[in-house]
A and B are shown apart, each in its own frame.
Chain A
C-alpha cells in the first residue's frame, strides 16, 4: 500500500504511447509529474514536418491529457540519434532553437548514441551546444548495444561540449556503467524495465552502493515492453530494503525536481494529492 504522502516524478516516460488507463494507474500510484522526452516512434519518420507535429503534441495534446489525470507534464525535445542518421530528418536541427524556447521544455533530449556513426557525433555535439545556448539541461542516453564503449565516447563528447556535468543526466545506466558515469559528475539515470535490463531489486542494490544523491529513476515506458508503474515498484523495493520514506522522496521526487528545475521551467504548482482534475474532460467523454 503506497504511503498517502508518496509523490513520484517520472523523469523519463513516453506517454504518447500510453493509454488513459496508464495515467489513472500512475496517479493512483503517486505519480504527480513527469517528463516525456522526444524519441523514436518505432516507425522511422521521413520528413521534418512529422517531427514538428510530434513536438506540437508534446507541447499541446499530451500535457492536456496528463492534466486531466492530475499529472504535470513536461517534455524534452531533440532529434534522436537513430533518425539523425537519415539526411531527410536533419533540417529538424535548424528548427530546434525555436522549439527549445517553449514553456514546458525542460531539457534537450533524448540525445546520445545509437550506432555511434559520424552523423550521430555531429547531431550530439550540435545539440549539446543548443543546451548551452538555451541554458537547458541535457538528457543523454547511453546506447542499448555496446554500452560501455558508447558511454566512454559519450563522456568524451560531453567534456568537449563545455556543458557542466550538473546539467547532464546519463540515462539507461546499469551496474557496468554506473562507476564511470558517477565519476563524470553527471546525474545518474536508471530505467527500470519488466525484463532483465534493470529491475527494482538491482536498482536498490545500486542505491545501497552509490547512495541516493544525483540518482534519477524512471520507467522509460513507451510502445515496447515496459511498465509505467516501475517507479512506484522501486519505491516499494527501497522501503522493503530498509530505506526511509525520505530517501524514497529524494530519489523519486526531489532529485528530478532539482535536475529539471535547472531549466527554470518546471510547473509543479498544480500537483499534489489535492490536485483538481480538469473539468472539461474531452478524453473521459472521449470518442467524439
Chain B
C-alpha cells in the first residue's frame, strides 16, 4: 500500500511532460541533499526549485493521474512543491520563513505539506501559519489551511470559524479535512450554522447545500460509538515510503 506522499508522487509523474519530469527528479535529488547554501550564498538549490516550480512543472493536457486528494484541488505545481519540501525536510523556522516570504502559491504548498513534514513542525508555529491563511480571503489558501493538519490541531473556536468562512467564501466543505469527525455532535457549530442559515433565508438567499450537510453532522448529540469516518488519505502519519 502506498503512503499518501508516494501516491502523490506517482500521480504527479504521470501528469508531467518529459522536461518537467526531469526537472522534478533534479529538484527532489537536490532537496534530499539539502542543507548547503546555493552558490554565492544565495538560496539553496532546493528552495530555488520550490519557488520556481510554477514555471518548471508543466502538466500535460491529458487525463490527470490518480489524485490522492479527496477534493482534487492539488494541482501539479502544488504537488511538486509539497514533495520538494518533504524531501528537503527544513526545520520549523525555515518552514515559517518559506511561508512568510512566499507567494500565494508557495504559501499554499507549505500549508498542504504541514501534515507530511518529517520532523513534524512545532505545533504552535505551524498553527500560526494555518491561522494566517484563515485570515485571508484567498479561497485557495483557506482551503489548504483546513487540511488534515488543522483537523488534528486547530482549536474548536478557530476550526468552527474556518468552516463558516468556507460557507461564506464558496469553498466546498469537501475541502475541510475530518469534517465528519470534528463536526459530529458539535452543538456550538450547529448554532453558528443555524444562525447563518437564518441570515441567508432572511435575505431571501438560498441556504448552501453544504451548510445543510454540516448541520446534519453537527446536530448529532452523541457521536456514533465507532465514528463513521473514512480515513482521510492525508490523515495518517508518515510511515515507510512504500
Contacts and interface: CB of A to CB of B under 8 A. Distances in A.
Nearest to A263: B55
Interface string A88-112: 0000000001100111100000000
B37 interface: no
A101 B140 CA distance: 22
Given A102-B103, A283-B137, A288 B52 contact: no
Given A103-B53, A282-B139, A283-B137, A288 B104 contact: no
Interface in B59-116: 101, 103-105, 107
Given A60-B107, A101-B51, A102-B103, A285 B138 contact: no
A282 B54 contact: no
Contact of A103 (B52, B139, B169): B52
A264 interface: yes
Contact of B170 (A101, A102, A281): A281
B165 interface: yes
Contact of B171 (A59, A97, A265, A280): A280
A288 B168 CA distance: 7
A195 to B, nearest CB: 34
A279 interface: yes
B73 to A, nearest CB: 10
**Size bracket of the A interface:** 20 to 34
A156 B51 CA distance: 34
Interface string B165-208: 10011111000000000000000000000000000000000000
A60 B106 CA distance: 10
A59 B170 contact: no
Contact of B52 (A60, A61, A101, A281): A101
Interface string A62-93: 01100000000000000000000000000000
Given A97-B42, A281-B169, A282-B169, 7 more contacts: A64-B138, A101-B43, A265-B55, A279-B170, A280-B143, A280-B172, A285-B168
Interface of A: 56, 59-61, 63-64, 97-98, 101-104, 264-265, 267, 278-283, 285, 288
12 contacts: A56-B103, A60-B103, A60-B107, A64-B140, A102-B51, A103-B105, A104-B103, A264-B55, A278-B139, A280-B139, A285-B169, A288-B137
